[in-house]
Amino acid sequence: MANEDSLAGRHALVTGGGRGIGAAIARALLEQGARVTITGRAREALAVTVAELSALGEIDSKEMDVTSAASVAQAFAAAEARFGPVMVLVNNAGQAASSPFLKTGEEVWNQMLAVNLTGTWHCIRAALPAMLEARWGRIVNVASTAGLTGYGYVSAYCAAKHGVVGLTRSLALEVATKGVTVNAVCPGYTETDIVRDAVANIVAKTGRSEEQALAELASSNPQRRLVQPDEVANAVAWLCMPGAGAMNGQAIAVAGGEVM
């Protein structure tokens, strides 16, 4: 049974939950008593995370492609058959591509929007009706500091993440009196596969060492380090708690002071 001190009895669904920030978020929500479904396209990664976290509580996984409305609908239906309506939705699935603006083709542009923005829209549309019916819900969109400021050579990614922040703010106003909150968490460079790919890209294109590439990314953080997945997960989990009901329409940077 749900209560006002934890997420016990509530079903939380985390997209992109097989590794990195998503897996850390799943752990944090399990520790708060939620029943957790993690989704993603990589079946093996999902299975590994479920096995690692199963001792903490009820957790399951569903294969899902956030860019496909049909895939989202099918996965949500299966998840809700297991754990009931989704009352906590964390849109964490994301993808980043780097290239100069004039070398960013339409395929890359569309892919960045599809995964980062339209995927968020698909999942909210699947979860929101049950939240409105229950007059309680938490939606947290994992955006990026790229949704709050500009970065060179990632124009499509920045545009998509700015869209996520705009969607967050707009929907938060629509549901403000209906028991549902909508917020965004905006990590800076975080120690994840996306950052490891960025480091490899810098090494390949500039000839710098891996250590130099990492230092370059970390230099944007006043703390001179990469953010850790658990630090992002802690912010997400707090926004999902019953006691965070006054937090709505916010885009919170988890970036060591990079964006203020």
Q: Which of 151, 153, 157, 189 is catalytic?
A: 157
User: Identity (one letter) of the amino acid at 234?
Assistant: N
User: Is residue 151 annotated as part of the catalytic site, yes or no?
Assistant: no
Sign of CA dihedral 155, 213, 165, 253: negative
For residue 19, give Cα distances in angstroms to 26, 40, 117: 10, 9, 20
115 in Cβ contact with 67 (< 8 Å)? yes
- List the alpha helices (DSSP H) in the chain: 20-31, 43-53, 69-83, 106-113, 119-134, 155-174, 193-206, 210-218, 229-240
Number of H helices, E strands in the chain: 9, 7
Residue 196 Ramachandran class (φ > 0 left, ψ -120 to 50 alpha, else beta): alpha
Radius of gyration of the chain from Cα atoms? 18
Provide the annotated active-site residues: 157
